[in-house]
Amino acid sequence: MTDEQLLRYSRHILLDALGIEGQQRILDTHALIIGAGGLGSPAALYLASAGIGRITVVDDDVVDLTNLQRQIIHTEARVGMAKAASAQVALAAINPAVDVVPVQKTLAGAELDALVASADIVLDCTDNFATRHAINRACAHHRKPLVSGAAIRFDGQVSVYDLRRDDAPCYHCLFPEGEDVEEVRCAVMGVFAPLTGIVGTMQAAEALKLAAGIGESLSGRLLLLDALNMEWRTVKFRQDADCAVCGPNSAGRSGEYPGQSGAHHESATPACRPA
Ligand SMILES: [Zn+2]
């Protein structure tokens, strides 16, 4: 670490649990952030300010005026710009040492697979079930920790699926694909601005802990926030032994690549989170 890095990250290094070793591991980490919206904005800003070595930001959308109420990585001057490129501008202004790789496309299939394989930690900051399941399958296959967040109206959720571990539950264990879920269309739903900040910031916190190798992650725990009454609830859950994605007998774990069924639901309605 250079003298400037020692200064820049001194308030991290001063933390007993983190120290120089933890900060060095953060500097050596490649985080993949899928979605540069309400959740991806604060997550990316904190990961960059904290010195994550490389951030790949994926989003196929462009900045719109209606985004600015909560997607704090973007600015009015960048309305019309690709969100991934806009995020790169913001992150470079905070910490130019971070290698930011913008990807302006919808990730699926082999491209999703390759990007997940190249990352150390994946942050799911997306807003629809099909993509969430596809990301979960790729993370299970490549044994990458997945930090997942969701926010709609005044309701937030955050959890970690630590798929490096054989016994850790995955997103599919908690929200099985194909079950009847109330599809909530984000495009027409309201969302409380700071809620996305709270959830996205918690995703950054969990990602930094995983990167540094410190503390207890949210693996096996789903935190639910009712921001209207500002109440948190914790739901504990375990691996589903019969899970098709992460279970001991699943194709994804036995070396074969898990099916892509969920990745190509052309008619799937974009949804913000399970009801
Ligand atoms: Zn599972």
Give tens-digit pLDDT for 42-66.
999 999 999 999 999 999 999 999 9
Cα–Cα–Cα angle for 29, 31, 35, nearest 5°? Answer: 170
Q: Tell how far the Cα of 21 is from the centroid of ligand 1, in angstroms.
A: 32
C-alpha 176 – ligand 1 centre gap (Å): 8
Q: Ligand 1 centre from 66 Cα, in Å?
A: 35
Give the global pTM: 0.91
For the record, the structure tokens of 205 come out as 């916190």
Query: Using CA atoms, how far apart are residues 145 and 218, in angstroms rounded to an integer?
Result: 11
For residue 201, how far is its CA from the centre of ligand 1 (angstroms)? 25
**211 CA to middle of ligand 1, Å?**
22
204 — pLDDT class (breaks 50, 70, 90): very high
- Structure confidence at residue 189 as a pLDDT band (50, 70, 90): confident
Lowest mean pLDDT among 90-94, 107-111, 185-189, 235-239: 185-189
Residues 6+ apart with CB under 8 A from 53: 26, 27, 28, 29, 30, 98, 99
Q: How far is the CA of 171 from the centre of ligand 1 (A)?
A: 6
Ligand 1 centre to CA of 44 (Å) is: 27
Q: How far is the CA of 273 from the centre of ligand 1 (A)?
A: 17
C-alpha distances in Å from residue 224, one per residue of 9, 150, 202: 31, 10, 12
Model pLDDT, residue 202 = 98
Mean pLDDT of 168-184: 79
Point out which residues pair with 19 in neighbouring strands: none
The arithmetic mean of pLDDT across residues 163-180, rounded, is: 88
The two most distant CA atoms of the chain are separated, in Å, by 55
Task: Give distance in angstroms: CA of 69 to centre of ligand 1.
Answer: 35
Ligand 1 centroid to residue 175 C-alpha, Å: 9
Please report which confidence band the pLDDT of residue 253 belongs to, taking 50, 70 and 90 as the band edges: low
Q: How far apart are CA 166 and CA 159, in angstroms?
A: 17
Separation of CA 200 and ligand 1 centre (Å): 23
pLDDT of residue 179: 61
Does residue 264 carry a pLDDT above 70? Answer: no
The larger pLDDT score, comparing residue 273 to residue 23, is at 23
Question: Dihedral of CA 33/39/44/46: which sign?
Answer: negative
Q: What residues contact 217, with CB distance under 8 A and at least 6 apart? A: 145, 160, 162, 206, 209, 210
Candidate from 92-106, 132-146, 247-261 with smallest mean pLDDT = 247-261
Lowest mean pLDDT among 82-86, 124-128, 181-185: 181-185
What's the gap in Å between 240 CA and the centre of ligand 1? 6
- β-partners of residue 99 are 54
Rounded distance, CA 269 to CA 275, Å? 14
Confidence grade of residue 256 (pLDDT, cut at 50, 70, 90):
low
Q: In b/e form, how buried is each residue of 236-272, taking b as 16+ CB within 10 angstroms?
A: eeebbeebbbbbeebbbbeeeebebebbeeeeeeebb
Question: Containing H/E element for 199?
Answer: helix 193-212
